[in-house]
Structure 1
Amino acid sequence: MNNYELMAIFTPVLSDDDFKAIQKKYTDFVEANGGTITYTNPWGLKSLAYPIQKKTTALYWVLEYSAPSDFNEKFKIQFLRDDQVLRHMITVLDKYAVEYNAKKRSGVKTDTEKVEA
């Protein structure tokens, strides 16, 4: 099982209920294919750096999960088929990134934050 982080950008015309439903759809897909959800963070409506499909805002969502290495191809196909997804990016997390994200969520200051403070 490898650790991954997904950043997905959805169309801004989704209602709150639709946005929650699409998040549930993809988290259920991960779990149905043998993965586990580590963390989910809906960022909500944000401005885009550049227009995508003539849209200047979008709904952002970050998902951390663990899954078998062959799972990501199935996951990408689901995103490419969905018209509500503007963009998506899956990043592989190494053990240091997983540790950093866990510390950040728990509120523990990292070495770089101690130096800046």
Structure 2
Amino acid sequence: MKKYETTFVLDSVLDNDSIEKEIKKVSDVITNSGGNIIKSEKWGIKRFAYPIAGKQQGFYTYIVFEGSPKTPQELEKIYKLNEACLRFLTVIHSGEEISAVTEKKPEVTTGAK
């Protein structure tokens, strides 16, 4: 089985119970197709750079999973049929964890004496 990662954006007007149901639907598709979820993160509500379907923000969810090559196709079907899903992307997981880069800027001192 290959490792995949999927990120999907739900309409932010959904209440917490509805968001949980939508995430469960995605999880069920993965597990029912013989896959297993490695990591699941709720990134919460984020503002879009531009309006999507007339919306200014959405609820982001990120899942890393193992599955058969048909699993991403099944996920795409449910994403497209779900009106609450504004955007989605499923790719093969590279195996590398992406971490936020935080560089400490060197302190600049003025030479004024």
**Shorter-chain TM-score range:** 0.7 to 0.9
Q: Is the 8 A contact 2:9 2:60 kept in 1?
A: yes
Alpha-carbon RMSD across the aligned residues, in angstroms, is: 1.7
> Which residue of the partner structure matches residue 88 of structure 1?
88
Q: Do structure 1's residue 64 and structure 2's residue 64 form an aligned pair?
A: yes
User: How far apart are 1:93 and its partner, in Å?
Assistant: 1.2
1:45 corresponds in structure 2 to 45
SS of structure 1 residue aligned to 2:92: strand
Alpha-carbon distance between aligned partners in 1 of 2:35 and 2:44, rounded to the nearest angstrom? 24
Q: TM-score, normalised by structure 2?
A: 0.83
Secondary structure at 1:40 match in 2: strand
Aligned partners of 1:3 and 1:37: how far apart in 2? 10
How many aligned residue pairs are there? 103
Sequence identity (%): 23
Query: Gaps (5+ residues) in structure 2?
Result: 105-113
TM-score normalized with structure 1 length: 0.80
Unaligned runs of 5+ residues in structure 1 are: 105-111
**What is the aligned partner in structure 2 of residue 2 from structure 1?**
2
